Structure 1
Amino acid sequence: MRKPEIIVTDNGFAIVQAKATDAVSLDEVGEIIAYKIDELTTDLLCCDIVTGSGDGQQIRTIHEEIPGFDALMVRFETLPGFNSKWRDAVILPPFATNRTTIYNRAATAA
């Protein structure tokens, strides 16, 4: 069984899994929320990527153990208003969730 993988594309990214590939354009990304999950001895960095709105809203959750995570975060840094210091905001203090909005398209458009 194929493990999930993130592939950065020219205009966005794709989350590739065993039975499906979910391609997303950067233009579709409305919000990115970063946080940690406490896994006893370590913390797992995660991001919820929000696309669409209302009934059409979708949330894709990725984490740092999925191959391609770091490359995608570097790509996200090109989004206007993206918080490039997101790791500092989420990592400390340890073992706290530290849920932080690191990108919000509506806030940058205002």
Structure 2
Amino acid sequence: MRKPEIITTDNGFAIVTTKGTDAVSLDEVSAIVAYKIDELTTDLVCCDIVTGSGDGEQIRTIHEELPGFGAAMRHFESLPGFDRQWRDTAILPPFATNRTLIYSRHASA
């Protein structure tokens, strides 16, 4: 059974699971929200990648334990207005969800 992973591509990323591959172009990304989930002894840093809008909006959630997460986050840095200090914003202070908008296509337009 294949473990989920994130693959970066020239113009985006793909989430690969046993069910298939979900490829997304960076041009489709309208927002990225970073946050963490308290898992008792550790926190899990997550990001919701938002594409589309209205009834067509889709949210893909990735987290730091998925292979390729770090490479994907570095890839997102090429988006205009992306918050490069996102990790500190998401992890501090401890024991708080710290849900933070780290990229918005509308804010950078």
Fold in common (TM above 0.5): yes
2:8 maps to 8
Find the aligned partners of 1:104 and 1:17 in 2 and give their Cα distance.
Answer: 27
1:45 maps to 45
1:24-39 aligned at under 5 Å gives the runs: 24-39=24-39
Find the aligned partners of 2:93 and 2:41 in 1 and give their Cα distance.
Answer: 14
1:54 maps to 54
* Count of equivalent residues: 109
Q: Normalising by the residue count of structure 1, what TM-score does the alignment of the two structures yield?
A: 0.98
In percent, how many aligned pairs have the same letter? 78
Find the aligned partners of 2:10 and 2:89 in 1 and give their Cα distance.
Answer: 28
SS of residue in 1 equivalent to 2:66 = coil
SS of residue in 1 equivalent to 2:88 = helix
Q: Normalising by the residue count of structure 2, what TM-score does the alignment of the two structures yield?
A: 0.99
Deviation at 1:19, TM superposition (A): 1.6
SS of residue in 2 equivalent to 1:96 = coil
Find the aligned partners of 1:11 and 1:93 in 2 and give their Cα distance.
Answer: 33
Q: Partner letter of residue 24 of structure 1?
A: V
Q: Which runs of 5+ in 1 are unaligned?
A: none
Find the aligned partners of 1:20 and 1:86 in 2 and give their Cα distance.
Answer: 29
Deviation at 1:26, TM superposition (A): 0.2
Q: Partner letter of residue 99 of structure 1?
A: R
Deviation at 1:95, TM superposition (A): 1.5
Deviation at 1:59, TM superposition (A): 0.2
SS of residue in 2 equivalent to 1:107 = helix
Find the aligned partners of 1:61 and 1:41 in 2 and give their Cα distance.
Answer: 21
**Superposed CA offset, 1:10-29 (max 9, x none):** 00000000021000000000
Q: Report the RMSD for the aligned CA atoms in angstroms.
A: 0.5
Please tell me whether residue 20 in structure 1 is matched to residue 20 in structure 2.
yes
